[in-house]
Chains A and B, each alone.
Chain A
Amino acid sequence: AQRVTQPEKLLSVFKGAPVELKCNYSYSGSPELFWYVQYSRQRLQLLLRHISRESIKGFTADLNKGETSFHLKKPFAQEEDSAMYYCALRRGGSNYKLTFGKGTLLTVNP
């Protein structure tokens, strides 16, 4: 069975500092990885997916199959980045089911 691990429940950084939210996964096949974000009092929304290889709101994430990781990075954190971040895995194929990590609460201090 697949599993997603986010080792940090809480992460606090200062504005302008780099930030990295860790995500490791275990899955024997070819997974698709996602990062979802939930701002205060808002619904869960997709931030980025590894297939897109794009940067959203300054965030990037690279899938490292050797290390089975999909860490989320941003070089200069902003206060508005404060939110709950969830890493999620989808198994290959047409099944849309997602397995979520437990989430990391990021706080960016002024």
Chain B
Amino acid sequence: GAVVSQHPSWVICKSGTSVKIECRSLDFQATTMFWYRQFPKQSLMLMATSNEGSKATYEQGVEKDKFLINHASLTLSTLTVTSAHPEDSSFYICSAVPPREETQYFGPGTRLLVL
């Protein structure tokens, strides 16, 4: 089956620093990946669609300069939280869609805590 990994699984950083989260499709190539944010006991909120070789598409209300997305290869998308603040603390989840499938496969998530 399709496997998606994320790194790191958790990260603690100081306010004002930037944090990069990686999302990799391990056994397939993905032209499209998605980044979600999940608050405690709440649903997944789509932040952006990551497109290989082109700019990401951000959902309404998501600051593109705050959450930088790079999809430089068919197996890797990165989300960089720039100048992180405590309110950015959350659980970030990525997903990827294998070729010829219409199903999203999810990574295990990255828990970010900004102090």
A73: Cβ under 8 A from any B Cβ: no
> Restricting to A36-54, which residues have a CB under 8 Å from any CB of B?
36, 42-46, 49
Which of B42, B43, B109 lies at the interface centre, i.e. has the most chain A CB atoms within 10 A of its CB? B43
- Measured in the bound complex, the distance between the Cα atoms of B93 and A103 in whole Å is 16
A86: Cβ under 8 A from any B Cβ: yes
- The contact string, 1 if C-beta is below 8 Å from chain B, for chain A 89-110, is 0100000111111110000000
Residue of B at shortest CB range from A101?
B43
Instruction: Please determine whether A43 and B109 come into contact, CB atoms closer than 8 angstroms.
Output: yes
Count B-side interface residues using an 8 Å CB cutoff. Answer: 18
- Measured in the bound complex, the distance between the Cα atoms of B45 and A103 in whole Å is 12
Chain B positions within 8 Å of A36 at CB level: 106
- Interface bin, chain A: 10 to 19
Instruction: Please determine whether B93 and A44 come into contact, CB atoms closer than 8 angstroms.
Output: yes
- Measured in the bound complex, the distance between the Cα atoms of B59 and A1 in whole Å is 13
Instruction: Please determine whether A43 and B49 come into contact, CB atoms closer than 8 angstroms.
Output: no
- Measured in the bound complex, the distance between the Cα atoms of B34 and A49 in whole Å is 19
Q: State the A residues within 8 Å of B (CB).
A: 32, 34, 36, 42-46, 49, 86, 90, 96-103
Q: State the B residues within 8 Å of A (CB).
A: 32, 34, 42-44, 46, 49, 93, 95, 97, 102-109
10 closest residue pairs by CB, A with B: A44-B106, A102-B43, A43-B108, A100-B43, A100-B44, A96-B97, A43-B106, A103-B43, A46-B103, A96-B32
* Apart from A43-B108, A44-B44, A96-B102, 16 more pairs, CB < 8 Å: A34-B103, A42-B108, A43-B93, A43-B106, A43-B109, A44-B106, A46-B103, A86-B43, A86-B44, A90-B102, A96-B97, A97-B46, A97-B49, A98-B34, A98-B104, A103-B43
